[in-house]
Structure 1
């Protein structure tokens, strides 16, 4: 190691270090931390704030309005970048730091890298307590930032300057490791941020982190190939790992060669184009009839890059064939061993290539091909019926909103969504035409993700138009980053779907015997229930007040014109549409386990419990 040192504050050294970190995969080099979102308070303004000011364009700064939203924006950036690049987020100590918890959980659950840099209390304790100090009597070293520990893949608090060197290197190691990545938190005591130190020049120099493609061992590939050749009704479940690996072409080649049908999880949607002959569409509770019917009778399930959430497995009721077996391709052993599978631990692209070579000449039977392709064609007719409005002068249903959006968008446009009833409709109905077009966060199903994530997507991939789809409930939770979009000139289109409440939970509430209690945005009636007139809330006017160009649409035809105008415009926009009360989308094709009251006085809950008990009998553990 060179003996040369550079005198900088801890914050200055950290920012310079981050500006010199790069990833490289398949010969493509990218800057790891593309910029830093920040809201400044007393806990970071003199440290990280001053360091970002000095760094200038070496570490671009983005001004956010809400700490949770900044984390969502960074996650959107990371996902659109294939996990090869992300952004940092800095906040003050106190509520700014604890506001990061939701964003950190979302990143870690979805296996997406984001770097969080919250301020922290004084390490030197010049006054005790200081402003926003937790003051835990049994542990003075505990601060509010400890809330971030369980939702971070790596967490450290930098009590002394010299701690930063190993901790920063470990932080980047986790961010760039596809098997370990998630939220990384470096909590920075506010006095330490401003403290000077002699830093080794080598620490601040350019460093390249090579993101390798681990190749599965030959024996696991051989066993998997034996399982596949012995199966009569194999089904491949494509998860988000296909996109993270960039394995879409390899998946298409695998399906072409073997004829094995492919269905997709929420994060795996778009792994195959919608019109690929092996494409069955979405799987699970929000899946298509084509995919779910085949899943129920599959004798072998091949998971590629999926973590088998309850929505994918229909709460462990979907893969119901006696003796069904699993082969799981995943870069993490933790996920590869789920469902008592034969694991193939490795990169999805490398593993699909190895499996394809091991299966050379193998193809499923012709009658199975005909069966699943006929099912896929039948489902496409269902999609047409749900999404096409017979009359352009009618008020659109939510499914028809998606149909019109599908007409207006180009193949390279991106649709962002996260919560409510929209993810289910998108999963079943959207015809993905590009691997990066479908961006639905459903690992955490976080209301408020959509608008800030759309900013991150557009920053990561500025050549694409980006549409954030939000219901009124989601919009009211976090519209603030529209201001950031206007300030920074980040062109996104927010589609505000007004349905006067939590439509998704309202429907679920009815199914479980809770009778839509507390799920509508309406005035109270004389009995005190929320069944009165809709609230006189004008979300379009709110979006306009935040600086967006606003287009109102009352009919299918007006919606089409508004979406085209917003897409063709050159500034952040909002398209506001109130949907028709009738739902034209097909219902759930598989179950989802939401427990129902075991005893109740109201008949609706008693009936719902009887239905629940009947469906729950179909649960199984694959051992």
Structure 2
């Protein structure tokens, strides 16, 4: 043991964890931590965006593409509060980070010192953090820092990943104590948490699946978290069962794979949706059956469970049976369960032949293709968003990292952006934080500098966090932002149009002195922040604009003026209770008789 400051202990531990970056924003509650980094910058790099929320979004995206945990730091009071949306976004999408927040000095608890969360409970940001983290620790001594850090990293990684919080009074950064820096290999790195499913349950699952006339496999975000795409493809091919996904599972199976059906849900793809509501057995892997995916659980739109029999596999037992009754629930890591299923299937015989069910799903795919291809070819001005996505997909390499914010642009990517491998498309799901993509694209590019990284966003989301472009310029991060600019918060404006009898308020960007739709000139904004910028109004110019941005090697913003009234095809529904649900604009609910 040796005498060292709390800051030095923390930084040394992070370096031993082989953490490459520290994302955050300085304040008086964080200057001590940063002082500990000062002489270690050749071993750990500080990247600070223009807002704490952006740091969390960057760490979240970094984890999703690399499965490496990045710590984020803030000062006290407003800093942790601004971090909150980003941490919650990660928590509800099963993404991990270590959130280190500053706190008033231990001698100042319950004094109302600058930025203390007090009044009823002293120094109590942890009470806020506990609803959006796997655990919240508050250190009261330097030795606590050494005790809590390995636990935090272990918790963040194991089982269902998620953020872990550590609250640090700022006097601990400079206080010295006789402490020993813990070894991550003993506490944090050497984990073996991948648990298989019950052998009896796995055998029963295979029996149910092989005995079905219309079987399906559903790949959720758990397949991506578990890095189980290889096992998924091998098992699906052996049993010859079509695969569809949630949006969080998009890319689990390549869009080029013959068994691939796409995404089911409110704004999903017709082949997946139609197959899901006609299936007799579904093997669901690592998904939570959210309202967006399940058409608000209304029978006939996405699912008919029962009579469809559901086999639900998840590492988190709380998710099994949460929203649908299960024929069989299996608690286990998706990758391990798929290995078990494949081993049993191989023992039972060769690959299965095609069935009439395969002919049905192929017909669904052809029907959907005939519909979307004509939309993607539109020469209309203003630009059809579907044409924009088509041209971007054509210009971007197969391994491009695609990330979105929340809004109509998200659904265009969901339906029209083909993905050819896992961990190449990222979107905010459960908490759906705006700005996740705008800042998250920087995390993607830092984690995978050799791959192109593109954020498709909207004028609404981009304007919440435009400082991401300045951060990209500062740190030389060649990210690309594609803004589908329609002068409105489109998805909410559309809800008003449908649910509120067309009454629109507070959703369009208008210069009130003239009544004209208005946004800043995003291309000039980008140029003012040291990035490339271009505006596109003619669909014929999309391809060259995307090629220029992707080849630039510098941050680049493309402002695409799209038709503000182009509707997103509704494949299922979303029930905005208690108002009656909207009906699908493509396909129709399955009414059981």
Query: What's the TM-score bracket when you normalise by the shorter of the two chains?
Result: over 0.9
Structure 1 residues 337 and 133, CA gap change in structure 2 (3 angstroms): same
Deviations 1:475-522 (A, max 9, x none): 111111211111111110011121001111111221212523221112
**Which piece of structure 1 moves more, 99-108 or 425-434?**
425-434
Which residue of the partner structure matches residue 323 of structure 1? 307
Give how far 1:596 is off: 4.4
1:277-426 matches, cutoff 5 A: 277-317=258-298, 318-320=302-304, 322-338=306-322, 339-341=324-326, 342-360=328-346, 361=349, 363=352, 366-390=355-379, 394-426=381-413
Which residue of the partner structure matches residue 37 of structure 1? 23
Distance in 2 between residues matched to 1:340 and 1:536, nearest whole Å: 48
Which residue of the partner structure matches residue 13 of structure 1? 9
1:480-519 matches, cutoff 5 A: 480-513=467-500, 515=502, 516-519=504-507
- How many residues were matched structurally? 576
Which residue of the partner structure matches residue 242 of structure 1? 223
Distance in 2 between residues matched to 1:334 and 1:34, nearest whole Å: 34
Distance in 2 between residues matched to 1:278 and 1:588, nearest whole Å: 23
Would the aligned equivalents of 1:16 and 1:204 in 2 still touch at CA under 8 Å?
no
Which residue of the partner structure matches residue 24 of structure 1? none
Which residue of the partner structure matches residue 185 of structure 1? 165
Distance in 1 between residues matched to 2:581 and 2:316, nearest whole Å: 39
Give how far 1:128 is off: 2.5
Distance in 2 between residues matched to 1:269 and 1:149, nearest whole Å: 29
Distance in 1 between residues matched to 2:460 and 2:110, nearest whole Å: 43
Q: Does 1:590 align with 2:579?
A: no
Q: Does 1:533 align with 2:516?
A: yes
Distance in 2 between residues matched to 1:10 and 1:238, nearest whole Å: 44
Structure 1 residues 390 and 129, CA gap change in structure 2 (3 angstroms): closer
Q: Does 1:108 align with 2:91?
A: yes
Distance in 2 between residues matched to 1:377 and 1:356, nearest whole Å: 30
- Unpaired stretches in structure 1, ≥5 consecutive residues: 22-30, 527-531, 598-608, 613-617
Select which of 514, 533, 551 maps to 1:568.
551
Distance in 2 between residues matched to 1:382 and 1:610, nearest whole Å: 23
Distance in 2 between residues matched to 1:490 and 1:132, nearest whole Å: 33
Distance in 2 between residues matched to 1:39 and 1:581, nearest whole Å: 36
Distance in 1 between residues matched to 2:344 and 2:397, nearest whole Å: 37
Would the aligned equivalents of 2:410 and 2:457 in 1 still touch at CA under 8 Å?
no
Structure 1 residues 15 and 225, CA gap change in structure 2 (3 angstroms): same
TM-score if structure 1 supplies the norm length? 0.88
**Which piece of structure 1 moves more, 402-411 or 302-311?**
302-311
Give how far 1:90 is off: 0.9
Matched residue of 2:107: which SS?
Answer: coil
What is the root-mean-square deviation of aligned Cα atoms in Å? Answer: 2.3
Give how far 1:163 is off: 1.8
Distance in 2 between residues matched to 1:462 and 1:548, nearest whole Å: 18
Give how far 1:365 is off: 5.7
Q: Does 1:79 align with 2:64?
A: yes
Distance in 1 between residues matched to 2:194 and 2:277, nearest whole Å: 33
Structure 1 residues 512 and 364, CA gap change in structure 2 (3 angstroms): farther
Q: Does 1:196 align with 2:183?
A: no
Matched residue of 1:99: which SS?
Answer: helix
Would the aligned equivalents of 2:110 and 2:123 in 1 still touch at CA under 8 Å?
no
Distance in 2 between residues matched to 1:594 and 1:231, nearest whole Å: 34
Give how far 1:54 is off: 2.7
Would the aligned equivalents of 1:411 and 1:437 in 2 still touch at CA under 8 Å?
no
Give how far 1:410 is off: 0.6
Distance in 1 between residues matched to 2:556 and 2:582, nearest whole Å: 44
Distance in 2 between residues matched to 1:544 and 1:343, nearest whole Å: 54
4+ runs deviating over 6 angstroms? 204-207
TM-score if structure 2 supplies the norm length? 0.92
Distance in 2 between residues matched to 1:514 and 1:524, nearest whole Å: 23
Which residue of the partner structure matches residue 63 of structure 1? 48
Which residue of the partner structure matches residue 586 of structure 2? none
Distance in 1 between residues matched to 2:466 and 2:57, nearest whole Å: 13
Would the aligned equivalents of 1:469 and 1:496 in 2 still touch at CA under 8 Å?
yes
Structure 1 residues 419 and 63, CA gap change in structure 2 (3 angstroms): same
Which residue of the partner structure matches residue 111 of structure 2? 128
Distance in 2 between residues matched to 1:105 and 1:452, nearest whole Å: 15
